[in-house]
Amino acid sequence: MITFTDRAREVVLSLLEESEGELEALRITMRQADSGLKPHFDLTLVGADERESDDQQEDVGGFSILVKEYLVSQLEGATVDYVERINESGFEVHTVGPDEPKKSQDPPQGQIADRVREVLEVQVNPAIAAHGGMISLVNVEETDIFVEMSGGCQGCALSAATLRQGVERMLREAIPELTGVHDITDHSSGENPYL
């Protein structure tokens, strides 16, 4: 179901050992994020008295995880990593579910795609180029668009605000029929965010 990187496994086992038997399993829960963003997963170490009747337990080699039944399919094939960055550290869950938006193999075609590309090229990318960033159109599904951030935008703490308060506003003004602007960027792999 779910895989832990060596670093994530090492951290979980260390925390369990430090608890001297008070904590015994890792609970994984999910919160839905703002529209268009990936869901947020919370990982919490729990003791035996915190188990709930609808917890599903799975041994992942050295420790157990607890997951609610509705979440099992969401975590199928997922990987848990432990990351340390300049301004944050913690666990990250990378999912590979069928409900994740797919990148189109060919550049998106059609009137909406052309209009989105024009807004990105003329208004958006020149503005964020000063921060070393760029936003590209990845896919169009009816009146929903999927974009990917790169350069200084990938992994930047302000990327969600940039997308929602700036980019999405510009796109909706130019293309009122848009119903959704979705960010499919893997922000956890950004190497040079503008901070």
Looking up residue 164, the CATH number of its domain turns out to be: 3.30.300.130
Task: Say if residue 38's pLDDT is above 80.
Answer: no
How much is the mean pLDDT over the chain? 80
The verdict on 54 and 84 lying in the same domain is: yes
- Give me the number of domains the chain comprises: 2
| 90 in any annotated domain | yes
- pLDDT of 175 reads 92
The verdict on 79 and 28 lying in the same domain is: yes
The verdict on 83 and 119 lying in the same domain is: no
Spatial distance between the Cα atoms of 12 and 15, rounded to a whole number of angstroms: 5
- pLDDT of 138 reads 87
Higher pLDDT, 63 or 190: 63
- pLDDT of 32 reads 61
Task: Say if residue 115's pLDDT is above 90.
Answer: yes
Higher pLDDT, 31 or 68: 68
Q: What is the pTM of this model?
A: 0.48
The verdict on 69 and 140 lying in the same domain is: no
Higher pLDDT, 178 or 84: 178
Average pLDDT for residues 144-163, to the nearest whole number? 79
The verdict on 10 and 52 lying in the same domain is: yes
- pLDDT of 97 reads 46
The verdict on 77 and 119 lying in the same domain is: no
Spatial distance between the Cα atoms of 42 and 52, rounded to a whole number of angstroms: 16
Pairing of strands 78-84, 40-46: unpaired
The verdict on 78 and 122 lying in the same domain is: no
The first and second tokens of residue 149, run together, are 């951030």
Domain that holds residue 59: 2-94
Higher pLDDT, 141 or 99: 141
Sequence-separated (6 or more) residues with CB below 8 Å from residue 51: 25, 66
Spatial distance between the Cα atoms of 50 and 60, rounded to a whole number of angstroms: 19
Task: Say if residue 158's pLDDT is above 80.
Answer: no
Task: Say if residue 167's pLDDT is above 80.
Answer: yes
- Give the chain's end-to-end CA distance (angstroms, integer): 35
